[in-house]
Amino acid sequence: MKQIYLAPLEGITDSIYRNTFSKYYGGVAKYFTPFLSPNSTHKFTTREFKDIDPEKNDIKTTVPQLLTNNSEHFLWAVSKIAPLGFKEINFNLGCPSGTVVAKNKGSGLLYYPEELDKILYEIFDGLDAVCAKAGANVPAISIKTRLGKNAADEFYEILDIYNKYPISELTIHPRIQSDFYREPIRIDYFDYAYEHSMAPLVFNGEIKTIDDINETFRKYDTVNAVMIGRGLIANPQLAMDYAAGKESDFNHDLFKQFHDDLLKQYIEVLSGEKPVLHRLKEFWAIWQVQFSDHEKVIKKIRKSNRIADYKSALNELF
């Protein structure tokens, strides 16, 4: 059976979201955490630790993701994460954000192929020793990448580099850094990777329907997984429907239960109404596509400054 992975979305797919999603919907084989940024302090932030705390995550299906351009920091993070029992760690080589790219991290590192090669060499060279020292099994190392920073043709050299290492899975988001999340997908380059990648490929980008999923698996026969971000947030039934083999109508009751559970948990863990509403509004920026004929209420939700106003707008919607 081909598989669906939930993409990491900073500010959206935290452990609360992932656990609640799996409670009400599911159909997802792997849940990637938003990136953790190991650095010279050799400490995870509280937010980061929540995302890898085995008490708050299913270690069998959760894949912690790391963003760094330093192999020593990467290996330090492995030495902390592997002993918790995680089987895979993902390397973020795709983040397009200006602040990240300015530090030559994420898709910024793709512009420096020699540096990229060196870091991957050092990571794979040091992995066994670091895990042995930590008394942990060696996790699989997967990569999530864009095609390049300034031009898609950078990808040919980048893929040659990836092909030198035992990458467990290579997820490709076929855009370059300056495309952000808007410009059309550059499918020809995924086709190229399909012909030339040594690592098993995962497709990511703009998958929104069961037809999109089926079409991807039909076109790329040996691709065994698609990673979905916004499409699966907007329609949380998508992976479940795919597993069941048919698209179902949007279930408003189930969605309301899911929503209410999320709201309750964020009220418990975040202090103050503003942070709770901020978090919920991030979801609504994506959820709103399901409610396109309720523009006025969605506007009220997005403008609410107090939880009471937010709830009264919600009552109008449901």
Closer to ligand FMN by CB, 8 or 236: give it.
8
Which two three-digit tokens encode residue 185? 């997908």
Closer to ligand FMN by CB, 80 or 144: give it.
144
CB of 202 to ligand FMN, least distance (A): 11
Closer to ligand FMN by CB, 93 or 298: give it.
93
> Which positions ≥6 away from 23 have C-beta within 8 Å?
261
Closer to ligand FMN by CB, 36 or 301: give it.
36
The closest residue (CB) to ligand FMN is 229
Binding site for ligand FMN (CB under 6 A): 7-12, 34-35, 65, 92, 94-95, 144, 173, 181, 204-207, 228-231
Closer to ligand FMN by CB, 213 or 276: give it.
213
CB of 239 to ligand FMN, least distance (A): 12
Closer to ligand FMN by CB, 7 or 82: give it.
7
CA distance 252 to 109: 43
Closer to ligand FMN by CB, 231 or 236: give it.
231
CB of 311 to ligand FMN, least distance (A): 25
CB of 144 to ligand FMN, least distance (A): 5
CB of 178 to ligand FMN, least distance (A): 15
CB of 69 to ligand FMN, least distance (A): 15
Answer for the pair 306, 276: CB distance below 8 angstroms, yes or no: no
CB of 123 to ligand FMN, least distance (A): 17
